[in-house]
Amino acid sequence: MRNLKKILFLYTAFLTFSLFFYGLRQAKTLTDVFLVMVFSFPTLYFIFDLVKLLKFSFISEKNFVVLTSYLKLISFFNYLILSIIIFLGLFFQFNFLIFVVFLPLPVYFWLTNFVAVEKIEEEKKLPKVEVAFEEKKDLEQNNLKQEIKKINDPLRRQFIKMLGVGGVGLFISTLLNPQKAEAAFFGSVPGPGTVAIKDSSGHRIDPAIKKPTDGYSIAQIDTTSPSYYGYQDKDGNWYIVKESSDGSFRYCRGYGNFSSSWTSRSSLSYDYFENVF
């Protein structure tokens, strides 16, 4: 049956494409146009079927299901139309050669629909394998017992107990004394609402202390030698950094009128950072 269907597929596809494209070139009367329209459905079917067989990458799984549904619908429609046309033609004007040439068309589509229905019936007859609820429950319990048996090393069990005791102790300590709990993570006991940070020498650093240059943003840059960098805050205060060719930095600070000060930056008086701020 499969070999017969393959032979019929090749024959009917070749015959359908040949008649369709020949009819497009020679269509002059309404009868010719009607026949071209009739053979357009088998042509569309074989195009879809070839796309399905080649499995192009641009066709998603969802589109593939839709395409299969269209193929079944067009196949059944082709079987009805071609059967009616061929047998009407034989009834009015019998020609044995035409009968032999065109008979494989409805036969192929009949086999296509017959095989599809047969497959569906076979799938319905297949017994469904169901796992009883009790068997599933027993299987889950056995898996759980096997996992518990794996933890049989005395040292491993002792380590797990230590982790449990330590976790409970840390939780209780956090509830009773939150500051000490924070100190366990940050290395020192902070004040209320702050985190104590220490430098390499052990001196405590307060992150809340404001630096002299906090709030300033870069406003102008001059990359000539020497280079100048102008900074300004939202209140109009400014300072300019002068970078000499030897890599040293000097500072100049002012209040208001930054644009004119930047214009005369080369004539301003610069000094060390600690002397300016």
pLDDT in tens, 53-75: 666 555 565 665 665 666 666 66
Q: With respect to residue 99, please indicate whether it lies within any of the assigned structural domains.
A: yes
Q: With respect to residue 178, please indicate whether it lies within any of the assigned structural domains.
A: no
AA identity, residue 171: F
Question: 212-227 burial, b if ≥16 CB within 10 A, otherwise e?
Answer: eeeebeeebebeeebe
Q: With respect to residue 133, please indicate whether it lies within any of the assigned structural domains.
A: no
118 and 15 part of one domain: yes
121 and 226 part of one domain: no
Q: How many domains does the chain have?
A: 2
Which of these ranges, 59-73, 114-128, 229-243, 250-264, has the smallest mean pLDDT? 114-128
Q: Is the pLDDT of residue 22 over 70?
A: yes
Q: With bands split at pLDDT 50, 70 and 90, how would you rate the model's confidence at 9?
A: confident
Q: What is the pLDDT of residue 131?
A: 45
Q: With respect to residue 267, please indicate whether it lies within any of the assigned structural domains.
A: yes
**Percent of the chain surpassing pLDDT 70:** 45
Note down the domain range covering 233: 217-276
AA identity, residue 51: V
Q: With respect to residue 212, please indicate whether it lies within any of the assigned structural domains.
A: no
> CA distances (Å), 14 to each of 11, 22, 72, 105, 192, in order?
5, 12, 20, 11, 88
Q: With respect to residue 17, please indicate whether it lies within any of the assigned structural domains.
A: yes
Note whether 228 and 220 are within 8 A (CB): yes
Q: Is the pLDDT of residue 120 over 60?
A: no
Which pTM was predicted? 0.33
Q: With respect to residue 130, please indicate whether it lies within any of the assigned structural domains.
A: no
Tokens of 237: 């205060």
Helices (H) and strands (E) in the chain, counts: 10, 6
**Which of 76, 103, 125 corresponds to the end of one domain?**
125
Q: Is the pLDDT of residue 197 over 90?
A: no
Preceding peptide of 226 cis, ω within 30°: yes
